[in-house]
Structure 1
Amino acid sequence: MTKPPRKPPQPLLGDAEAPIRSRPRKKRDPAQPQLTLDPMPARIDPCLALLKPKPPKGRQWAFEVKWDGYRLAVHIEPKGVRILTRGGHDWTARFPAILAAAKRLPVSTAILDGEAVVFDEQGRSDFGRLQQSLGGRGGNRSSRQAVMMAFDILYFDGHDLMETEFTARRHLLEGLVPAGGEEAIRLSEEIEADGDTLFRIACEHGLEGIIAKDRNSTYRGGRGGEWLKIKCIQSDGFVIVGYQRSSSAFGNIGALLLAARKAGQLVYVGSVGTGFKADEAMKLRAMMVKRKVSAPAVRYTGRRKNLIWIKPKLVAEIEYRAWTHDGKLRHASFKGLREEQDEAAVYEIE
């Protein structure tokens, strides 16, 4: 049976001579959700590094230098720039150089995560110098020497990146803050090296240690293990519970009596009598006098004399080499007081 002839094909766009027109747009259905930009969070709880005794193994880990300063988040918005401490306090006015550098970055909205540091003559971050540049604990001085070492980006041009893997976040950060810059916002560079080798070199150069980050991890606040810290020299926060008077020492402070936390309680962990500068000691003595109490906040069985007990409100950053068999700090040295706004963690004894 013969098939009927096929109709000639119609032009793809209808009448070939007619002008090309799109279909008329329909009015938007109010019930249909809009694809809007992600709202910028007012504050992000920072991801914190978990202390480990040695570097992890495997290609999933990226390594950086551990910086010794104050954790900051720089919020860049159309209405201006905010610089927040780890505890969420606004310190924009205290870092004018970082503020100016943030305004020059080629981005309309962003949140950068990093560390404010001041470098010594050897190019190492120095916590004591940072504190001095800010006028000491409780001071109101602005630091023009401080620079921010940026190591993460959490929000970029209207997009929340916290659920994005670390490798992709680093790619965006490196495009925004190039390596080798001399601005007040600089890239904390990833170092291509075996973790053990990098850690050994860092310790040989007098650095505090290194940070290891899981390349596949998303960003979440707290110590979840996505970031690890491996320290050459131990440095942690301890509560000052008292001091020993001495007429021959700076500020008449012979030693500070320190405490750590254990099962929710403060326990005495020894003293520190070195690392003080004359002007720092005088300011510290004045702060402690205002907090004097009659009874210690810890159980003390030592034999020191001329002891003054204070309220356990001041947190000192202490550098030390090890612990003694009875749970006391060995070779401790005072580095400075932590700011309340910095919310430095007090050492927890497991």
Structure 2
Amino acid sequence: MVRRPSQPPVGLHSEKEAPLKSRANRPRDPGQPQLPFDPMPPRIEPCLAQLASKPPKGSEWAFELKWDGYRLAVHVEPTQIRILTRGGHDWTKRFSGIEIAAKQLGVATMILDGEAVVLDGQGRADFGALKAALGGRGGKRNAEAVVFYAFDLLYFDGHDLRWMELSERRHLLESILPAAQGGPIRLSEEGDADGDSFFQIACEHGLEGIIAKHRRRPYRSGRLGDWLKIKCVRSESFAIVGYEPSTDGVSIASLLLAAIKGDELVYVGSVGTGFKEKVARDLKQALDGLAIHKPSVKYPRKQAVVVRPELVAEVEFRAWTKDGKLCHTSFKGIRVPQDNPTVYRIES
């Protein structure tokens, strides 16, 4: 049997005495240092989406449209705005509309992750129009009409948010960029449907596809499976290893394409549609400057001009043949080095 102490423990009062009271708060010393802030990263390597054949299932996944444009990070800093490409190049001067809009958000410090696009008449992202707005390959034009769709918030008000779950980062982002807000900076909204239904709707409207994101994951740089991309029409980046000239000799008839397999490039077919006349002429001129005598891959085309594999083409296609060639291809554009394009890798 436990005995009660005859006297209350030190620091407590008996029932006959006054009730317990907490110590009065002392005013804060103005000379005391503020809580530490996280230093703003000069650049954050982006989180990349893995290709998936179908949308994942489960309430832990959120779904957004896949925007067909340039991946950008908008840095709102105390004294300036910086707009960085996926490869870390500063393109602030080329996106003055986004720069002005970022200043007007009224936020002291912030890093937005998103995609810059140009929309067509039906509200779909048009990669070709974006290229034209920026002046094409090597262009320096200022794309004032570009819209930036923000889909993540990585740094805010002096604090690094990458350790937080996506759902928490998303909540903060939506408080800064309300849904259905117009202007050069807009919120990339989540679909109010399950993955299969949302994917079907995206394809029926002629969109490129959707992105699935795990709500409970932090922001991790690289292609780790936290984000998945599901495409209606497949579109990938391939190295240009040669071209077939047109019959008039001033343009191109098709491009020879290669992917990475193991430690080397392998020929995966060609693309001969999707070129506008001026683009085809300009591309021939650029490729002629890269011409070489010894091909970098084995290919069956006898009349081709072989080139150093320095340019990367974005190509739409429907499927792969049994012998590893692309089916029903269409040229979309040349990926610029500043966008840090990744040549498609064939898994062994």
How many Å separate the matches in 2 of 1:26 and 1:78?
A: 23
Q: Which residue does the alignment assign to 1:288?
A: 287
Q: Does 1:336 align with 2:318?
A: no
Q: Distance in 2 between matches of 1:230 and 1:268?
A: 25
Give the structure 1 partner of residue 274 of structure 2.
Answer: 275
Kindly indicate whether the alpha-carbon contact (under 8 Å) linking 1:244 and 1:305 is maintained by their aligned counterparts in 2.
Answer: no
What letter corresponds to residue 267 of structure 1 in structure 2? V
| Structural RMSD (CA) | 2.4
Asked if residue 144 in structure 1 is aligned to residue 141 in structure 2, the reply is no
Residue pairs, 1:319-330, within 5 angstroms: 319-330=316-327
Counterparts of 1:336 and 1:21, CA distance in 2: 65
Aligned pairs for 1:171-182 within 5 A? 171-182=171-182
CA shift in 2, pair 1:289/1:160, >3 Å:
same
- Counterpart of 2:35 in structure 1 is 35
**Structure 2 counterpart of 1:153, one-letter code:** L
Determine whether 1:346 maps to 2:343: yes
Q: Counterparts of 1:120 and 1:58 in 2: how far apart (Å)?
A: 33
Write the distance in 2 (CA, Å) between the matches of 1:177 and 1:23: 37
**How many angstroms apart in 2 are the aligned matches of 1:320 and 1:335?**
10
What letter is aligned with 1:265? E
Counterpart in 1 of 2:247?
Answer: 247
Q: CA 1:22/1:283 → structure 2, altered by over 3 Å: closer, same or farther?
A: same
Deviations 1:65-114 (A, max 9, x none): 00000000000011110000001000000111111111111210000000
1:97-246 aligned at under 5 Å gives the runs 97-246=97-246
Cα distance change on mapping 1:154 and 1:8 into 2, 3 Å = closer
Q: Against the structure 1 CA distance between its residues 176 and 248, is the aligned structure 2 distance closer, same or farther, given a 3 Å change threshold?
A: same
Q: How much has 1:137 moved relative to structure 2? A: 1.2
Aligned counterparts of 1:326 and 1:21: Cα–Cα separation in 2: 77
Report the equivalent of 2:261.
Answer: 262
Q: Distance in 1 between matches of 2:31 and 2:95?
A: 49
Taking structure 2 as the reference length, the TM-score comes to 0.91
Name the CA shift for 1:293/1:8 in 2 (closer, same or farther; >3 Å). Answer: closer
Q: Which amino acid letter does the alignment assign opposite residue 314 of structure 1? A: L
How many pairs are equivalent? 334
Tell me the equivalent position of 1:17: none
Identity of aligned residues (%): 59
Q: Secondary structure of the equivalent of 1:288? A: helix
- Shift in alpha-carbon separation, 1:24–1:123, aligned structure 2, 3 A: closer
Q: Distance between the aligned counterparts of 2:208 and 2:19, measured in 1? A: 75
Shift of 1:27: 8.2
Q: Which residue of structure 2 lines up, in the alignment, with residue 314 of structure 1?
A: 311
Contact 1:60 1:214 in 2 (8 A): yes
Q: Confirm or deny: 8 A CA contact 1:127 1:336 kept in the other structure.
A: yes
Letter in structure 1 aligned against 2:207? L
**Offset at 1:34?**
6.8
For 1:104 and 1:252, the matched residues in 2 are separated by: 46
Report the secondary structure of 1:144's partner residue. Answer: coil
Alpha-carbon offset, residue 305 of structure 1: 3.6
- Measured in 2, the distance between the counterparts of 1:24 and 1:246 equals 78
Provide the C-alpha distance between the structure 2 equivalents of 1:210 and 1:328, rounded to a whole number of angstroms: 25
Contact 1:106 1:176 in 2 (8 A): no
Q: CA deviation at 1:8?
A: 8.6
1:81 corresponds to: 81
Question: Aligned partners of 1:107 and 1:185: how far apart in 2?
Answer: 14
- What's the CA shift for 1:23? 7.7
Amino acid at match of 1:229: K
Q: What whole-Å deviation, never above 9, does each CA across 1:102-151 have from its counterpart, x for those lacking one? A: 11112100000000000111110011110011011111111112110000
Q: Is the 8 A contact 1:318 1:336 kept in 2?
A: yes
Q: Could you tell me which amino acid in structure 1 is paired with residue 337 of structure 2? A: E
Shift of 1:216: 0.3
Q: Which runs of 4+ in 1 moved over 4 A?
A: 6-14, 20-28
Between the aligned partners of 2:320 and 2:153, the Cα distance in structure 1 is 37
Change (3 A) 1:173 1:50: same
Distance 1:153 1:231 in 2: 24
1:4-15 matches, cutoff 5 A? none
- Indicate the SS of the match to 1:293: coil
Aligned mates of 1:171, 1:8 — CA distance in 2: 49
The one-letter code of the counterpart of 2:310 is K
Whole-angstrom distance in 1 between the partners of 2:22 and 2:307? 86
- Matched residue of 2:345: which SS? coil
Whether the 8 Å CA contact 1:238–1:347 is kept in 2: the answer is: yes
Cα offset, 1:35, TM superposition: 3.0
Scaled by the length of structure 1, the TM-score of the pair is: 0.90
- In structure 1, runs of 5+ residues without a counterpart are 1-5, 15-19
> Partner of 1:3 in structure 2?
none
